[in-house]
Structure 1
């Protein structure tokens, strides 16, 4: 039997003003092991899960990894082979860290591998964006690094955003979940011209701030008017944790994806203090959390045979 693994990084999306278009891959991973089963196998899919949140993951045919796997075979007009999938969870679920993107990318790359790689990476990427509904997680999960995406449902322009090597991402991860659908439901249907200008200017400055590591620019550039003001109410202790991160030496703090995880950007000297301050702040409001000092993943999803 043929066995291979697909390793996919967690991602942090939006990074403040880059709503639904900017995301970065981080050094935190889900690993999926796929084993081709004999064609006579009665059950088309067998799924097992390892990790502290394994009970939350479906082991049926509705699992997102498997439904994504099927999309490749549907596109190429072939019947999928029976497959066993072992899921190794390293990315917390429903925390704004792109766990669904890891599942989509993992399933698509695995199916492409099983079928002899009939689809290009561009075709895989387009399928992933269509399945996820937006590019900001799946693109960096596939490509690695920090990526900016612009386009529509049929055509995407994607470019890598340079990330200064001494710019350290610190994640504060609380022990509660926040569904993306709930986080999107609180967003307004319309925004003002002033709010649009606010975000456009911050996003432009953010791209330069990420490239240079200029703390003065980042302190301004991480501000946002499109989603964070509305989602803060869904994250208990948000303001307290933000103040603590900045007191710890962070340039600023944003909601990672739809939340509830929070992302602070800092320098190597202040990374540990920032992490400690964020954890302590959440503890003061009665919330258990963990803090991870990470780096930018530069490889993206990897298939290992």
Structure 2
């Protein structure tokens, strides 16, 4: 059995803890019955022995599997990770979603995506990453009475995601501590209006509005100050014709949307100017988590 979950980019500028979309950059885990417990890890995190011994996926999987089956079995877990760790691309959400989905699938119990999403909420209180990880596409999400309420839309094939992944992380915990305790009414209204406009632009496919609508006064500048090069990355992407360029989650990745015909030029310029960062161009993922037998 194989579970596949996409990377996600959250916030998208002004949509703090609310907006997110899925990118065709995936973590996969294959699970097989075994005489004893074993773990193999390829790709991102493969050189970190702690991930094998203290694996969040296996802890969540075991909790759900034992509750569903009331028995103990041994499995071989084979992880193939393409989502960078601690870079603002939803690696933790991918682990949570895939672990829960795997426990149900290994028992042959069908689980609809709405239920899966709300089970994941117990491990990740903000819905901006877990929602696109489960559902795919572009998502507007909030939490009401311990349930995720969301509206989603497929992303078109005419757009590409260009992600600039720095060679060091920004701690999510430290990134939240960098934010002010209070905001002015003007800044709050600014973000409400821009987040609303950004949502409308995605839903109506008015791509020319993305650059204006993706502006933010709540979190980006405070977080990007921890890695000042990101301001230059953002400026370069927009100058090269990107439709929008925002901090992905709490960083350190910079997420950019381009028209297909502009993506190669934007990627090339970013690679030339920031050779110490990884630059990838990907399609968007409209499937979310998938299970294959």
Q: Which runs of 5+ in 2 are unaligned?
A: none
Across the aligned residues of Structure 1 and Structure 2, the Cα RMSD in angstroms comes to 2.0
Distance of aligned partners of 1:119 and 1:163 in 2 relative to their CA distance in 1, 3 Å threshold: closer
Q: Quick check: 1:196 aligned with 2:188? A: yes
Q: What is the aligned counterpart of 1:297 among 276, 285, 290?
A: 285
Return the alpha-carbon distance in structure 2 between the equivalents of residues 102 and 11 of structure 1: 8
Return the alpha-carbon distance in structure 2 between the equivalents of residues 158 and 186 of structure 1: 28
Q: Quick check: 1:66 aligned with 2:54? A: no
Q: Which runs of 5+ in 1 are unaligned?
A: none
Secondary structure of 1:132's counterpart equals coil
Please give the TM-score of this superposition, normalised by the length of structure 1.
0.89
Give the paired residue count: 292
Q: What is the CA-CA distance between 1:194 and the residue it aligns to?
A: 1.4
Task: Give the structure 1 partner of residue 30 of structure 2.
Answer: 33
Query: Higher mean Cα deviation, 175-184 or 251-260?
Result: 175-184
Q: Provide Cα deviations, 1:59-79, integer angstroms capped at 9, x if missing partner.
A: 12x311112213323654734
Q: Quick check: 1:150 aligned with 2:138? A: no
Q: Provide Cα deviations, 1:63-116, integer angstroms capped at 9, x if missing partner.
A: 111122133236547344322211101111111111111111111111011223
Return the alpha-carbon distance in structure 2 between the equivalents of residues 178 and 228 of structure 1: 12
Distance of aligned partners of 1:208 and 1:14 in 2 relative to their CA distance in 1, 3 Å threshold: same
Give matches, 1:126-205, under 5 Å.
Answer: 126-152=118-144, 154-205=146-197
Return the alpha-carbon distance in structure 2 between the equivalents of residues 258 and 73 of structure 1: 32
* Contact in 2 for aligned 1:71/1:108 (Cα 8 Å): no
Distance of aligned partners of 1:73 and 1:153 in 2 relative to their CA distance in 1, 3 Å threshold: farther
Task: Give the structure 1 partner of residue 4 of structure 2.
Answer: 7
